Structure 1
Amino acid sequence: MSTRRNFLQKMGLGALALQLASVKTFATDVPVDDIPYEGQTLRVAIMGLGGYGTRVAQSMQNCSRAKLVGVISGTPSKVTKWQADFGIPEKNCYNYDNFDAVKNNPDINAIYVCTPNAQHHGQVIRIAKAGKHAICEKPMAVSAKEAREMIDACDKAKVKLLIGYRMHFEPHTLEVIRMRKAGEFGQIRFFQGLCGFKTGDPKQWRLNKALSGGGSMMDIGIYALNGARYMVGEEPIWVTAQETKTDTVKFKDGIDETIQFQLGFPSGAVASCLSTYNVNNLDRFFLDGDKGFAEMLPSTNYGPINGRTHKGPINQPYTTHQTVQMDEFAAIIFDGKQPVIPVDGHEGLRDMKIIEAIYQACKTGKKVTLLA
């Protein structure tokens, strides 16, 4: 497997066409799916036409409130292919040098950044200056300072900044959170998040610190970190961490291979998490309280997500994560909808601050206190 996304793709791509694009509800006798949407449409240009950008594009074909209308890429051949595959008009195609001109293109009102981590900062700031809403893959930046600057730029331009936390809309995940809020697990005591895979091509951008900003922690590890926060329902107040590296040729300085990290929460709950580029089949969340538990296995891949609690299986519909995410983003931007778990720039900034503390704890061997 060459990348995390290829790993996850093997687990979930086959289900992409089979998963439910939406859930039927019956406020009237007519299913919501069959009622044509007549409101504002989120008209999106995707920046970065790699594997994940392609997955988002494919998933958006089933959106009701979001539409793929443009592309931004440094590879002309990819632009040509996307024009053919998705019917993108020439006037909505840009490269990394000229995409500031999108400011004068009314066809596009949002840009989804799917480029390497280190490029997010500058690209989102340019998007904000162009007056377009910015959607950015996670991690949103390679430092908390950069994340803060991205938030400030979007605030100044009065545009939205949303981070691609697709799991925040996933039905099994939301059911566990509902149960936790309802007190069905009692006092939360412990969370475990295991996220990892064996990374492949040593020349890929994820193993280049100048592009990735780090190793497994900046990639697959953010799922365990973010999951600990939304599953426990609190913000951690301290972190400890340990790094293990078995291959110093493949995982050079600044590229972490495996990190174990622990989080402490105000209530006394603790989390134990693992992020790795050297172990396959790690995709499990476990939440434990004094009245019950929840386990999700797999917990964060492209699906289908499965889970169980002390009450039995979690019976929620399977969805195409990116389809739901993009429709939800439209509702946030146009309707002011407040998601159960935030997906704004401040949510991304919180993760960045904790990731920096994890790296500090690895370096010093000491417990690091997290500031509010």
Structure 2
Amino acid sequence: MSTRRSFLQQIAASAALSLVPLSSLASERKYEGPVLRVAIMGLGGYGTRVADAMKTCQKAKLVGAISGTPEKLTRWQEKYGIPAENCYNYQTFDQIKNNKNIDVVYITTPNALHHDQVIRVAAAGKHVICEKPMALNAKEGQEMVDACKKAGVKLLVGYRMHFEPQTLEVIRLRKEGAFGKILFFQGQCGFTIGDPTQWRLNRELAGGGSLMDIGIYAINGARYMVGEEPIWVTAQETKTDPVKFKEGVDETIQFQLGFPSGAVASALSTYKMNNLDRFFVNGEKGFAEMQPSTGYGPIKGRTHLGELKAPHVTHQTRQMEEMAGIILEGKEPVVAVNGEEGVKDLKIIDAIYKAVKTGKKVPLNLI
């Protein structure tokens, strides 16, 4: 009887197990590999977004904070459980070289500060993740790449879209030839910017205007959607509010890119219009359209084959998980996120500004 009862219990247990979703089982598996210990520099809106997203990371953990505002450091210690000994200000953060509990510093400060901060972090022997744009120009960017190589640390750029599932699906389809020969890319990136006193409208801190902040998505997107490096650029600037958008701070820029295969790209970057977050790539056999294409919320899109249906994961959570793999395990992402990738975008930005100023087609050499 006991044998029969045991047999029936095993049958019941097996049946119950078969009803449990595999996703539930996977979520209960505890990660036991190496964990990337992260300090965030710049505790503003985006730094907070990254910190919140890391709460659900398994491979990356927030352990430190760097800020010029003592009150922010106190709040972060309380909110995220950060030890006081892992908190620094902008004058003292070189001391992280003596802190064995921090592996990498994620820099989310204004653009103009990136260059010196990355070089200082590298000199302290820590890996660096730097928000885009990596620097104010390609010269600065290359100096950052060189400094990190000299120090033997990795330099990654916060290209969260390079890990986004819908984006990666379009790239996969393009690589497999689903669209045929790529002919055209269109990128529309923009919103109506608010507070005129914010750092994004300060040339000294931002290095420009909409192109540095939002237009870089279209620049980077053109490259990974077309699958080539552009060889020329033309560009035009429109400014309707010279009071809000002072000299050197672009309001709206349209630019065009040409590729070796003959494909062309047309893009719009603006701080003056809403409802602009769209990518479209067209080939001889098909197309892909994404809208929204780069926003923080779920990315939505379709191709000639149907709707894109990959599940949404918070971008910064997925980014930090993948970057932990790159830094700790040497993993190679589908689309590069290293400093060299950042320099290429900066070379294009330099060329766009030159094209605006001269009204001429500017050649590019990114190889």
Same fold by TM-score, threshold 0.5 exceeded? yes
Aligning the two structures, in what range does the TM-score lie when normalised by the shorter sequence? over 0.9
The TM-score, its normalising length taken from structure 1, stands at 0.92
1:123 has 2:117 as partner: yes
Distance 2:245 2:52 in 1: 33
Identify the match of residue 77 of structure 1 among 71, 78, 95. Answer: 71
| Cross-structure match for 2:153 | 159
Deviations 1:341-362 (A, max 9, x none): 0000000000000000000000
- Flag the structure with larger Rg: 2
Matches within 5 A, 1:17-96: 31-96=25-90
1:112 has 2:97 as partner: no
Identify the match of residue 211 of structure 2 among 217, 225, 232. Answer: 217
Distance 1:239 1:223 in 2: 16
The TM-score, its normalising length taken from structure 2, stands at 0.93
Distance 2:315 2:127 in 1: 20
Where structure 1 has 5 or more consecutive residues not aligned to the other structure, the ranges are 1-24
Helix, strand or coil at the partner of 2:237: strand
| Cross-structure match for 1:334 | 328
> What is the CA-CA distance between 1:190 and the residue it aligns to?
0.3
Amino acid paired to 2:172: R
Amino acid paired to 1:101: Q
Amino acid paired to 1:84: E
> What is the CA-CA distance between 1:30 and the residue it aligns to?
8.3
Amino acid paired to 1:205: W
Distance 2:167 2:27 in 1: 22
Distance 2:124 2:359 in 1: 44
Amino acid paired to 1:217: L
> What is the CA-CA distance between 1:38 and the residue it aligns to?
1.7
Matches within 5 A, 1:128-143: 128-143=122-137
| Cross-structure match for 2:346 | 352
Distance 1:118 1:349 in 2: 15
> What is the CA-CA distance between 1:371 and the residue it aligns to?
1.6
Q: CA RMSD in A?
A: 1.2
| Cross-structure match for 2:13 | none
> What is the CA-CA distance between 1:334 and the residue it aligns to?
1.2
Deviations 1:292-312 (A, max 9, x none): 000000000002100101111
Q: Which of structures 1 and 2 has the larger relative contact order (alpha carbons within 8 angstroms, sep 6+)?
A: 1
Deviations 1:311-335 (A, max 9, x none): 1101111110000000100100111
Helix, strand or coil at the partner of 1:61: helix
> What is the CA-CA distance between 1:35 and the residue it aligns to?
2.2
> What is the CA-CA distance between 1:112 and the residue it aligns to?
0.2
Matches within 5 A, 1:222-237: 222-237=216-231
1:248 has 2:242 as partner: yes
Helix, strand or coil at the partner of 2:56: coil
Amino acid paired to 2:37: R
Distance 1:281 1:31 in 2: 40
| Cross-structure match for 2:278 | 284
> What is the CA-CA distance between 1:33 and the residue it aligns to?
3.0
Identify the match of residue 367 of structure 1 among 353, 361, 366. Answer: 361
Distance 1:135 1:90 in 2: 22
Distance 1:91 1:293 in 2: 52
Distance 1:258 1:364 in 2: 17
Identify the match of residue 324 of structure 1 among 318, 322, 329. Answer: 318
Distance 1:353 1:248 in 2: 26
Kindly, what percent of the aligned residue pairs are identical? 70
Deviations 1:209-248 (A, max 9, x none): 1100000000000001100000000000000000000000
Identify the match of residue 192 of structure 1 among 169, 186, 191. Answer: 186
Amino acid paired to 2:322: E
Where structure 2 has 5 or more consecutive residues not aligned to the other structure, the ranges are 1-20
Identify the match of residue 337 of structure 2 among 343, 348, 351. Answer: 343
| Cross-structure match for 1:10 | none
Distance 2:25 2:245 in 1: 51
Distance 2:266 2:26 in 1: 41
> What is the CA-CA distance between 1:92 and the residue it aligns to?
0.5
Amino acid paired to 1:244: T
Distance 2:308 2:365 in 1: 35
Q: Say if 1:32 and 1:152 are closer, same or farther in 2 by CA, change over 3 A.
A: farther
| Cross-structure match for 1:145 | 139
Deviations 1:25-76 (A, max 9, x none): 97xx984433222221110000000000000000000001000000000011
